[in-house]
Amino acid sequence: MKISTKVEFGIIAVIDIAINSENNKAVTVYSISKRQNISGKYLEQILAVLRQAHLIRGLKGSKGGYVLTRPAKDITFKDIIDALDITVLNDVYFSSQGESEIVNTINDCLWNKMSDHMRSFSENLTLADIIEQYYKSLEEKSEQMMYYI
């Protein structure tokens, strides 16, 4: 499976917003762009799509930027991926010119089950799960870097 940069950067942006928007503090396009090394103009296009999908909300004014529209535990990766590219979690299957019983069996036993698993997995993985793993990873990294005298 190949994921577009739009989906990749969109997921990164939502995670960045979730991590950096504690207490409804808005996260600016510039700050996400700088932290994640993503083009600001491209990021604005991606954030517009996420805003239209009601995953993030834009705040205007001097302290403006973006915040999540609901708690991270209520946003699944299926929500995010579908907002950015509806085709990513679509069914995968063989489409040969002549339908044969072998092709039908492969589709039933392999591709349909893989597609179902991907959809189910992305429906059960929340933004909160990823954020929790992110903080664990940071904690483990800081423990490895400690020096004892």
28, 65 contact by CB (below 8 A): yes
What number does CATH give the domain 5-86+126-135?
A: 1.10.10.10
Helix H segments across 21-145? 29-36, 40-52, 77-84, 101-106, 112-124, 127-144
75 vs 11: CA distance, rounded Å: 12
pLDDT tens digits for range 73-95: 999 999 999 999 988 888 666 66
pTM of the model: 0.85
Residue 9 has what pLDDT?
97
Residue 3 sits at φ, ψ, to 5 deg, of: -105, 135
| Residue ranges covered by each domain of the chain | 5-86+126-135
Amino acid at the residue 138: L
State the pLDDT confidence band at 148, using cuts at 50, 70 and 90.
low
